[in-house]
A and B are shown apart, each in its own frame.
Chain A
């Protein structure tokens, strides 16, 4: 399929202002809050701003949907930006509302509100801008503002350590982005994205600098998306209040994916970057998903899940399945924000699970049967969509991803489930079909709307992905059916230890740039003081 990058129209000033308006609103609100003396007025400001943010984002999206797209005055109005802006505005509103009660009475409540607003403002700039340098700076500012939230409990050594680790990784990513800015300018002579994409599409033979720029962009995205082995910070920032985790996992860590999709016209022409994304993303997705199953605390389990999901999203970018990647970004944000904010309810959810009692794991036969049913349902759904919209499902990447859906359906349609279903069997089959049908449907819809270039991925890449996920499925089934088997028990310490990657990375990073540790609480350093020394010497004398 040929790349269709045509020049886009110029935005009028009012529209550019509207695109930037959420960022401005949150920025101004942050300034107002800095002047607030009471928490009540600060929260009122934040609540109002968040609601206004949703209204502005919704308006922006409606305009884009009505065909008012373009770039101008440094801003971009396009489906990608508009939809992610609405996502961030919505998640931001949820988090503001949640934080107001949750943080009530914290000594540094005002500090929190201020930096929450600043962080959101910088995210909106990333989403709105048409300029690569502005994007790089805003992305850096997001990380710096977030840092204030991550060290909300600055007296906790673990919080400071995790934030410091994040700081190191983020600065590495910033260095990459600096390289991206410089190299893109060298290669194409402009930093305005609309011009950049046209220029890049016009050049069949790219200079080395252009390839290097896109490769660096992929590296930056991998770093910011906490891919192995740079994932440690994401796992350890549970040292910040729950809504900060929700914000981070739902609105910030996925900016790496957003930026890649934003630069899709460039990435689609850079095979080296694609290979890097697929290899790093797929391996993180597979490994982190397995590590996730060994985690013993709810938030850390969620963090590993994010790490895996980000890997999956980046892998989809590498495969050129941009629309699915965007869908993943949006759906994952909503899902993960909810998962974090409702993490406290896990006790009750587990009580319900205990009400159900222990379930016997499905055997291999049942699993294989489930696999075939899953594949059949996916094929059926795919054919249905192909019949409805010819050519919609042409890319092999999409079929690989659909294969992953087929494997995913196994818990619902394995032999055990089918036997138990009884008269519900048709409903079950229909349910499985519906999931697959929805999956393809969402793809068809989003690709039609997003209009990102779609290209067949490098064959080796989709084969690699297929093998990786089949491997994941088989390993998972092994662990599930025979958790005490020799292989499962042999692998367990490795996955339980997170493959020891973070320890290795931290060892190097922390030595290169040691953290400043807050004064430890007295319990850790307590040594005998006057009472003890006096009485001991008295006793021994």
Chain B
């Protein structure tokens, strides 16, 4: 906690700073229709992860590691070995950069290591018995609950959360309720108004008393925060800690407000900034103030307000208690890193040279997503003429997509960026309807009309005075719908984006970038940037497959979470098709050649979509491929089908379909049915168990069974002498993979705050804002339990991401030092950064400012020690038998 204030400054400035820093702690959450992964600890990045954990424990009651009982089980299962503990201890006592020269006494270091190892061994032996209790400083609501509940069975904490949460939902909702409040007065203003009119609140002195008190609250949120702090007697030293704790008590809606702020600051909204999060803080703090002023004698202990000034010390105390937890966490990460490092090191330069000779017939670009790894491996095995590469699945296009005639404009890029151009749909041949109107325009207006009728029908169904008659006259038809949904079907459902289009029209539409028509040189510059970032600047194959990915699930509020995160939680189809269209245009190619990338005329880019639920890979716009490549396209289709079968067989066990792994047709059918099953809560495992991000040429990882746990980004440092591409990779995809990794991590270690609980209880709020678990409570963010756990065991092992980059260490270090975000991520322990030496394959970790050898050709310490461990088998075992 940095709650220090300079006494010379006027208090209002200090308070403003405290408000800002408390609000800045909250990471955003995206709505369900563009549900992408977010690192929920993003606001803590500038602190070491251990200190952030101490503060989060003290202020929010959250943990960042699993309980010790889990480590105990891993230890017992042999997945955590004495060697791992020793290495973790060794790293912990390693000297930092500052004192690297004056190397400490080796004997005392050995003793320190020994004592840390013993401490860890004691912790895993005792397991849960010795875990420090969860604790956080009490808020006023907690104190009041200690003195009795407002209503039998309902605590003040729950009541306050419920009241605020329901209000936020009603205020932010634009979709669910047909009758809403007038939001003109803002979140805080409407809250005051509604609270004063709430006849249902159990206020001891009656509603009139509460109304009066609410009327007396300051009109501006900032003033209200000041008022409440004065009432509560929180001094300046404690304000930041207290305000943080208060905002964490409504962390779900705070994350929603943080999203609005994020969007405003990205520049995607009309306003330059957004202060809803402050208003939310004022609301929650008003409750604290109201409850304080109404508290019975003795409910507030004398030192309560003062405790906040010592929150920093309390957090430090927690850090000390959790030291062994972090050592264990690091040890289990080391155990996993060693398996990966062993594989990377052994794929030596010989393999590289080998692959460089063979000229592939197809270059297939996949998203870096961990799910691509399984399919890529299978595809390479299916056809030796296919070379696969990894790149972020939005293919570098900063676009938003607008379906033809639709009012929706949907970003198709990572949440870190704002779209700068939009993509529309056009008909392949620009045909004209009879009346001379372009066919696309005619189609758009037909669609608008169809969609309007749909809406009219929906209001017939839902309007209060229509619902009764609707049910009576047409309700029986739902018997057929129930039957249809219950019986399994393997049919591929229509895309919702095609709703309202006449039969067959969707197949003729193609997403295109208007820029490519209007400004060829700008389009070519865009293509040049993308191809350069991909490292795809020479040696083009006849066919280049651009494979986006998307998931298929039914009745799933979190469906977008399974889609391509790099495409903003959407299917990557649009991006793949747009880029293919762009680089296939002769005009663009002509300009590209001028810019230094010569795409041969014989090369064709082919878009596709990898369905990650069924492992079907569909090709689009194949009719645009030249005749000469028809044979190659057919061969590719066959290879894709074979690869799909192999990938499905590999995944079958983890989906409980192990019995069908040997029967490709039955397995395929089972997965297609699963994808359509409205009762399926685990359509696929998404990015569960992700653990590493490997930035290297594919030759480095080819033939390695990475079990769908690695993000793979192709990178050839020889093409990037000035580290431009490296900088891009480390500031964008690496951050995105960190977001994904820590979303899974946080949802696993603290599902209560950073996960969305049980899907069985999910109740979508505001049509898209998020979910409640059950009736109400706070808005739930993060991943559902079913995405992390299969009912018997965790499917996601919470390991911080290990990033391996094949590049000169100086180049990597240069990026770390030049970019604050990258620096914070690495130095503060939010991820592990390794370099792979391009020549020798030696792996070293950037640790405390030094490059510390982590094995490799000469790395006796790490990789080559023969280790008797059950987990070693994991490298080859199918996913089903892991963990």
Binding site for B on A (CB under 8 A): 90-91, 93-94, 97-107, 153, 156-162, 164, 235-236, 238-243, 285, 289-290, 292-301, 305, 308-309, 312, 324, 327-328, 330-332, 334-335, 337-338, 341-348, 350-359, 404-405, 407-412, 417, 420, 435-436, 438-439, 442, 469, 472-473, 476, 479-480, 483-484, 488-489, 492-498, 500, 502-504, 506-507, 510-511, 514-515, 517, 520-532, 534-536, 538-540
Other A-B contacts than A342-B678, A350-B33, 16 sampled, CB-CB below 8 A, are A98-B679, A105-B792, A239-B761, A294-B179, A296-B177, A298-B764, A308-B468, A343-B764, A353-B458, A355-B499, A410-B465, A420-B449, A472-B465, A479-B179, A497-B199, A532-B135
User: Which residue of chain A lies nearest to B57 when distances are taken between CB atoms in the complex?
Assistant: A531
Contact among A289, A526, A528 for B465, CB-based, below 8 A: A289
CB atoms of B478 and A296 under 8 A apart:
no
Provide the B441-455 mask, 1 if CB < 8 A to any CB of A, else 0. 000000011011011
CB atoms of B466 and A408 under 8 A apart:
yes
- Which of B452, B478, B791 counts the most chain A CB atoms within 10 A? B478
- Which residues from chain A contact B135 at a C-beta distance below 8 Å? 526-529, 531-532
- Which of A100, A156, A335 counts the most chain B CB atoms within 10 A? A335
- Which residues from chain A contact B767 at a C-beta distance below 8 Å? 298, 346-347, 350, 353
- Which residues from chain B contact A158 at a C-beta distance below 8 Å? 158, 774-777
- Which residues from chain A contact B656 at a C-beta distance below 8 Å? 104
CB atoms of B792 and A476 under 8 A apart:
no
How many angstroms between the C-alpha atoms of A538 and B310 in the bound complex? 9
What is the CB-to-nearest-CB distance from A339 to chain B, in angstroms, rounded to a whole number?
8
Can you offer 10 A-B residue contacts whose CB atoms are under 8 A?
A99-B679, A101-B681, A297-B763, A338-B481, A355-B496, A469-B465, A476-B465, A483-B180, A517-B153, A535-B316
Contact among B33, B145, B465, B483 for A347, CB-based, below 8 A: B33
How many angstroms between the C-alpha atoms of A473 and B463 in the bound complex? 9
Q: Which B476-535 residues have a C-beta within 8 angstroms of A?
A: 476, 478-479, 481-483, 485-486, 496-497, 499-500
Supposing A298-B763, A347-B557 touch, asked if A439 and B469 sit within 8 A by C-beta, the answer is yes
Contact among B456, B464, B482 for A337, CB-based, below 8 A: B482
Contact among B198, B752, B761 for A523, CB-based, below 8 A: B752
Tell me whether B418 is interfacial, beta carbon within 8 Å. Answer: no
Supposing A241-B760, A312-B468, A539-B310 touch, asked if A355 and B463 sit within 8 A by C-beta, the answer is no
Tell me whether B142 is interfacial, beta carbon within 8 Å. Answer: yes
- Which residues from chain A contact B459 at a C-beta distance below 8 Å? 411
User: Which residue of chain A lies nearest to B766 when distances are taken between CB atoms in the complex?
Assistant: A296
CB atoms of B151 and A344 under 8 A apart:
no
Of B167-175, B577-585, B691-699, B812-820, the one contacting chain A is B167-175
How many angstroms between the C-alpha atoms of A358 and B175 in the bound complex? 10
CB atoms of B764 and A292 under 8 A apart:
no
How many angstroms between the C-alpha atoms of A309 and B472 in the bound complex? 10
- Which residues from chain A contact B752 at a C-beta distance below 8 Å? 521, 523
What is the CB-to-nearest-CB distance from A513 to chain B, in angstroms, rounded to a whole number?
9
Tell me whether B307 is interfacial, beta carbon within 8 Å. Answer: yes
CB atoms of A408 and B470 under 8 A apart:
yes
Of B22-30, B252-260, B400-408, the one contacting chain A is B400-408
- Which residues from chain B contact A327 at a C-beta distance below 8 Å? 472
- Shortest 8 CB-CB distances between A and B: which pairs? A105-B791, A331-B475, A357-B407, A503-B200, A535-B317, A289-B464, A408-B469, A356-B451
CB atoms of B151 and A496 under 8 A apart:
no
How many angstroms between the C-alpha atoms of A207 and B533 in the bound complex? 91
Contact among A289, A479, A494, A532 for B317, CB-based, below 8 A: A532
What is the CB-to-nearest-CB distance from B444 to chain A, in angstroms, rounded to a whole number?
12
How many angstroms between the C-alpha atoms of A515 and B178 in the bound complex? 35
Taking chain A's interface residues, is the majority helix, strand, or loop, or is none over half, making it mixed? Answer: helix
Tell me whether B194 is interfacial, beta carbon within 8 Å. Answer: yes
- Which residues from chain A contact B169 at a C-beta distance below 8 Å? 296-297
What is the CB-to-nearest-CB distance from A21 to chain B, in angstroms, rounded to a whole number?
22
CB atoms of B464 and A290 under 8 A apart:
yes
CB atoms of A408 and B152 under 8 A apart:
no
In this complex, the interface size class of chain B, counting residues with CB under 8 Å from chain A, is 35 or more
Supposing A335-B475, A412-B457 touch, asked if A293 and B464 sit within 8 A by C-beta, the answer is yes
Contact among B58, B194, B466 for A532, CB-based, below 8 A: B58
- Which residues from chain B contact A436 at a C-beta distance below 8 Å? 473
How many angstroms between the C-alpha atoms of A497 and B455 in the bound complex? 28
CB atoms of B763 and A355 under 8 A apart:
no
- Which residues from chain B contact A235 at a C-beta distance below 8 Å? 775
- Which of B146, B318, B476 counts the most chain A CB atoms within 10 A? B476
CB atoms of A297 and B316 under 8 A apart:
no
Tell me whether B133 is interfacial, beta carbon within 8 Å. Answer: yes
CB atoms of A522 and B471 under 8 A apart:
no
CB atoms of A351 and B496 under 8 A apart:
yes
- Which residues from chain B contact A344 at a C-beta distance below 8 Å? 555-557, 678, 762, 764
CB atoms of A493 and B194 under 8 A apart:
yes
User: Which residue of chain A lies nearest to B320 when distances are taken between CB atoms in the complex?
Assistant: A531
CB atoms of A342 and B555 under 8 A apart:
yes
- Which residues from chain B contact A503 at a C-beta distance below 8 Å? 199-202
User: Which residue of chain B lies nearest to A241 when distances are taken between CB atoms in the complex?
Assistant: B760
CB atoms of B138 and A538 under 8 A apart:
no
CB atoms of B473 and A353 under 8 A apart:
no
- Which residues from chain A contact B789 at a C-beta distance below 8 Å? 105
CB atoms of B176 and A298 under 8 A apart:
yes
Contact among A156, A294, A308, A355 for B170, CB-based, below 8 A: A294
- Which residues from chain A contact B151 at a C-beta distance below 8 Å? 506-507, 510
Contact among B177, B314, B753 for A295, CB-based, below 8 A: B177
Provide the B792-804 mask, 1 if CB < 8 A to any CB of A, else 0. 1000000000000
Contact among B452, B772, B791 for A356, CB-based, below 8 A: B452
User: Which residue of chain B lies nearest to A287 when distances are taken between CB atoms in the complex?
Assistant: B464
- Which residues from chain A contact B556 at a C-beta distance below 8 Å? 344-345
- Which of A298, A347, A510 counts the most chain B CB atoms within 10 A? A347
Supposing A296-B766, A332-B471, A356-B451 touch, asked if A157 and B464 sit within 8 A by C-beta, the answer is no
What is the CB-to-nearest-CB distance from A78 to chain B, in angstroms, rounded to a whole number?
20
What is the CB-to-nearest-CB distance from B468 to chain A, in angstroms, rounded to a whole number?
5
Supposing A297-B772, A539-B310 touch, asked if A408 and B177 sit within 8 A by C-beta, the answer is no
CB atoms of A238 and B500 under 8 A apart:
no
CB atoms of A489 and B471 under 8 A apart:
no
CB atoms of B468 and A408 under 8 A apart:
yes
User: Which residue of chain A lies nearest to B680 when distances are taken between CB atoms in the complex?
Assistant: A101
User: Which residue of chain B lies nearest to A428 when distances are taken between CB atoms in the complex?
Assistant: B453
CB atoms of B775 and A300 under 8 A apart:
yes
- Which residues from chain B contact A338 at a C-beta distance below 8 Å? 478, 481-482, 485
What is the CB-to-nearest-CB distance from A311 to chain B, in angstroms, rounded to a whole number?
9
CB atoms of A528 and B138 under 8 A apart:
yes
CB atoms of B464 and A331 under 8 A apart:
no
How many angstroms between the C-alpha atoms of A534 and B321 in the bound complex? 12
What is the CB-to-nearest-CB distance from B287 to chain A, in angstroms, rounded to a whole number?
15
- Which residues from chain B contact A300 at a C-beta distance below 8 Å? 763, 775
CB atoms of A161 and B449 under 8 A apart:
no
Q: Which B811-859 residues have a C-beta within 8 angstroms of A?
A: none
CB atoms of B460 and A408 under 8 A apart:
yes
- Which residues from chain A contact B456 at a C-beta distance below 8 Å? 359, 411-412, 417
What is the CB-to-nearest-CB distance from A351 to chain B, in angstroms, rounded to a whole number?
5
How many angstroms between the C-alpha atoms of A244 and B643 in the bound complex? 41
What is the CB-to-nearest-CB distance from B327 to chain A, in angstroms, rounded to a whole number?
18
User: Which residue of chain B lies nearest to A512 when distances are taken between CB atoms in the complex?
Assistant: B152
Contact among B136, B471, B478 for A328, CB-based, below 8 A: B471
Supposing A90-B482, A344-B557, A408-B469 touch, asked if A241 and B775 sit within 8 A by C-beta, the answer is no
CB atoms of B313 and A536 under 8 A apart:
yes
